[in-house]
Amino acid sequence: MQGRCSNPIRLARPDAGALALPSQQLDPGVEAVADIEYGAGAPEDADKHRLDIYRRHGAVRRPVLFFVHGGAWVRGDRKQYPFFGSRFAREGYVVVVPSYRLAPKHPHPAQIEDVADAFAWTVRHIAEYGGDPARIVVAGHSAGGHLVALLAANEKWLRGRGLTTAAIRGVISMSGVPDVTGEAGARVFGNDPAVRREASPLFHVRAGLPPFLITYCQWDYLTLPQQARRFHAALRQADVPAELVFVAGENHISEMTSIARPGDATAAALLRFLGGLE
C-alpha cells in the first residue's frame, strides 16, 4: 500500500487473513445502545448511517473512544465489534462504533464523509449518552486507522462540519494505511494521483495535531510496518507527540480480534495511551 506497491493484501503469514470474531457477549455492567442514526442519505444506505454506543451502566461525563472498523474500505460493519465496545466500556469509556458506506459502490470520499458526520454527531450528542464531548479519542483498525488519521490530519473534513482538530483529544491508528498513493488504492480512491495524495494522512502531517498512537504487528500485511514507521517519523519531525508500538505474535486480523483477551498487548498499549491523555 506504500509507494507503488500493487498488492495491498499480501500477507506475512498465510493464516493472517482469516476473520474469527471473539464472543459478542457484553461484559457484566456494560450496555449497548444500538442503531442510532447519525446522518441521512439514500434509503438503501440507511443502516450505514447508524452507530452503536457501549457504556457502563450509569455512565456520566466519561471519556469517549470513537472507533472506526476496518475491512479495506470495502467490507465490515459496526455490528462485528461488540467485543471491542465492551472491552473498553468496562474500563470506563463510552465507546462509539459507526458504520459507513463501502467501496466500490461508494468510492472515496464517501467513507471519510460518513466518518466525519458520525464524529460530528458524537461531539454534539454524546453527553446525552454519558460521554464527555471534550474528551474524545478517535481510533481505527486497518482502513479505519486510515480514516481516523485522515479525519485528524486533513482538517477540511472537520471544518465542513463546524469543527476543528481541537475536537480530537488523541488518535489511535492500528495497522492503518497512512499512504494510499500507490496503484493499489485506485479501486477505492480513483486513478487521479492528486486525489490519492489528498486522501493520504501522511501528506497532511503538520505541527499542532493531537497525539498519535500507531501500532503494527509481527505478521502484518507486508507494507504496513514500513508505512507505520514512516508515518511515525513524519509526525515526530513535525513535533507531534507520537508513539509507535510493535505488537509481537499477532497478525493483521488477530491484532484486533485478540483485543478482549486477558493480558492482550494491544489492549494494554491502547489503555496506556488513553490514560496518558487524561
CATH number at residue 250: 3.40.50.1820
Sign of CA dihedral 132, 50, 220, 207: negative
In a domain, 24, yes or no: no
Residue 268 belongs to domain spanning: 30-276
In a domain, 187, yes or no: yes
In a domain, 3, yes or no: no
Angle at 147 between CA 144 and CA 153, to 5 degrees: 140
Q: What is the pTM of this model?
A: 0.92
Give the residue ranges of the chain where pLDDT is below 70.
1-23
Taking the C-alpha atoms of residue 8 and residue 260, their distance in angstroms, rounded to an integer, is: 27
Residue 170 DSSP SS3: strand
CB atoms within 10 A of CB 103: 18
In a domain, 269, yes or no: yes
In a domain, 137, yes or no: yes
For residue 106, the one-letter residue type is H
Where on the phi/psi map is residue 168: left (φ > 0), alpha (ψ -120 to 50), or beta?
beta
Helices (H) and strands (E) in the chain, counts: 9, 8
Cell 468496562, located at residue: 90
Residue 246 DSSP SS3: strand
Q: Kindly calculate the radius of gyration of the chain based on its CA atoms and give it in whole angstroms.
A: 17
Residue 193: per-residue pLDDT:
93
Residue 8: per-residue pLDDT:
36
Those residues with Cβ within 8 angstroms of residue 262's Cβ, 6 or more apart along the chain or in another chain: none
In a domain, 2, yes or no: no
Please return the burial class of 41, using the count of CB atoms within 10 Å of its CB with bins 0-12, 13-18 and 19+: middle
Residue 20: per-residue pLDDT:
59
60-76 burial string, b = 16+ CB within 10 Å, else e? eebbbbbbbbbbbbeeb
Whether the CB-CB separation of 256 and 81 falls below 8 Å is answered with no
In a domain, 193, yes or no: yes
CB atoms within 10 A of CB 14: 9
Domain count, the chain: 1
Taking the C-alpha atoms of residue 64 and residue 61, their distance in angstroms, rounded to an integer, is: 9
In a domain, 38, yes or no: yes
